[in-house]
Every structure is written in C-alpha cells, then in structure tokens.
C-alpha cells in the first residue's frame, strides 16, 4: 500500500489561493489570524474563505498567544476543522482548549536541537498533532527557514506530527526521504513575495509531494 502524504498550504488570504490549493490536491489549508503576519486575514475574511473551501479540504486556523475570548470568537465565526497554536502556549493551557472544543488541536514547535525535540513529549494528551518547524525569528512561522531534518531520523514520535519550515517544491521530496513525515506544511515556499501566494508554486509543491508518494 503506497504512502499518502498529507499537504497543508498555509497563509492563504484570497479565493484564488484556496482554489489553487484544493485543485492541486492539498488536504489542508491554513488561515492566519496573527495580525503581525503578512499573511493575516481578519475573521470575516477567514470565514468567507472557509465557506469557499471544498468539503474534503480541512481548514486550519493559526493563532499566536491568542486570548481565550478571541479564540472562542474565531471558532464561532470561522468554524474551522483545526486550531493551530503557534506561540508560547503551555501543555496545560492547550489541554484546557482541547477539552473545551471538538476540533483538532495542533501545536507548532520550533526545533533547535535534539533536546527541544525530546521535550515535545510534554504535549502528549494536550494536542492532537505537533507541527515541527524552524525556530521562531521575527515571526513565529512562515520565515522560509528550515531546521536540521536529520534530528527526526531516529526520533520516536509519541504524537501524530507534520513537518514545516522552508519547504519548497525543490526540497520537499528530500525532506520526505529523510524524515518520512506523514504531513508537510508550506507557506513562504509557495509565494512570490511575503503574503503573496503563487498559484504555479502551489501546484508544483503538491505535484512534488504526489510524485514522491508515487515513486
């Protein structure tokens, strides 16, 4: 049975990007509610993009150190399939969120070294999936930077996980060969400029993943 890699195209902010991701075979799209990001979308716009997304594609809302009231409001207005937390959220706080909602809870973690990877075990029971990303810089994600994939080679994963950080159509197959990631996540890797998605790059990224799966 062939391996099927899930694909998340994150930081979408218009209908053309949503359509392109769905057409190319993405399994998830990400909508960024972090106001400091060039990929930020207001709640009403996020709700409209959610409505446009085909049923077979899951919608992920990205939040960074969001207040509980805002998180609840975002859930009510957008009605996502997944909440992805990309800030300093603790396992204890995430466990409360997980108990309070029926959607999936994801946590992005910046991987600096083997120790930060080992520490990811503290999120067991608090989240449904860990997103391993490059360490945060000026922004918590979407920096186009990658981390050392070899850190994942012999890691024993205790939670479902996904790979992010500097992934493009030209390196995603190698990333998959090294890590055997069940899901890959890209944002800046399919852009022509920060926050500006390139429809051809979205198609090329998804094709590269599908070609890897079929090889």
Q: CATH number, domain at 125?
A: 3.20.20.70
Give the chain's mean pLDDT: 93
CA distance 27 to 17: 14
Query: Is 64 a member of any domain?
Result: yes
Query: Is 209 a member of any domain?
Result: yes
Q: What is the pLDDT of residues 77-97, one digit of tens each?
A: 999 999 999 999 999 999 999
Place of tokens 């012999």: 154
Answer whether residue 105 shows pLDDT above 70. yes
Q: In this structure, what token pair is assigned to residue 52? A: 């446009």
pLDDT band with cut points at 50, 70 and 90 for residue 175: very high
Query: Is 24 a member of any domain?
Result: yes
CA-nearest of 151, 167, 101, 164 to 128 is: 101
Torsion of CA 11, 12, 18, 23, to 10 degrees: -50
Complete DSSP assignment for 35-74: TTSTTB--HHHHHHHHHHS-TTSEEEEEESS--HHHHHHH
pLDDT of 3: 75
Q: What is the pLDDT of residues 24-35, one digit of tens each?
A: 999 999 999 999
Percent of the chain topping pLDDT 70: 95
Query: Is 1 a member of any domain?
Result: no
CB atoms within 10 A of CB 99: 9
Q: What number is the average pLDDT over the span 178-198? A: 96
CA distance 45 to 67: 20
Q: What is the pLDDT of residues 116-173, one digit of tens each?
A: 898 999 999 999 999 999 886 555 555 567 889 999 988 899 999 999 999 999 999 9
Are 44 and 76 in contact by the 8 Å Cβ rule? The answer is no
Place of tokens 């080992």: 118
Domain count, the chain: 1
Structural element, H or E, at residue 18: helix 15-24
Query: Is 17 a member of any domain?
Result: yes
The range of the structural domain enclosing residue 162 comes to 6-214
| Radius of gyration for the chain, computed over Cα atoms and rounded to the nearest angstrom | 16
């Amino acid at each position: 049975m062939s391996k099927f890699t899930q694909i998340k195209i994150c930081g979408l902010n218009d209908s053309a990007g949503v359509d392109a991701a769905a057409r190319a075979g993405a399994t998830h799209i990400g909508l960024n509610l972090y106001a400091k990001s060039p990929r930020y979308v207001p709640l009403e716009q996020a709700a409209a993009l959610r409505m446009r997304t085909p049923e077979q594609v899951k919608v992920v809302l990205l939040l960074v150190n969001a207040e509980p009231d805002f998180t609840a409001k975002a859930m009510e207005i957008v009605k996502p399939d997944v909440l992805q937390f990309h800030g300093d959220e603790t396992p204890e706080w995430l466990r409360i969120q997980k108990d309070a909602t029926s959607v999936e809870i994801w946590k992005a973690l910046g991987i600096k070294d083997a120790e930060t990877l080992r520490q990811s075990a503290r999120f067991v029971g608090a989240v449904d999936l860990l997103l391993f990303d490059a360490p945060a810089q000026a922004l918590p994600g979407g920096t186009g930077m990658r981390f050392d994939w070899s850190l994942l080679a012999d890691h024993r994963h205790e939670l479902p996980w996904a790979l992010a950080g500097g992934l493009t159509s030209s390196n995603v197959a190698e990333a998959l060969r090294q890590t055997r990631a069940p899901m890959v996540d890209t944002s800046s890797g399919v852009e022509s400029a920060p926050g500006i998605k390139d429809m051809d790059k979205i198609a090329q990224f998804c094709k590269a993943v599908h070609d890897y799966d079929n090889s």
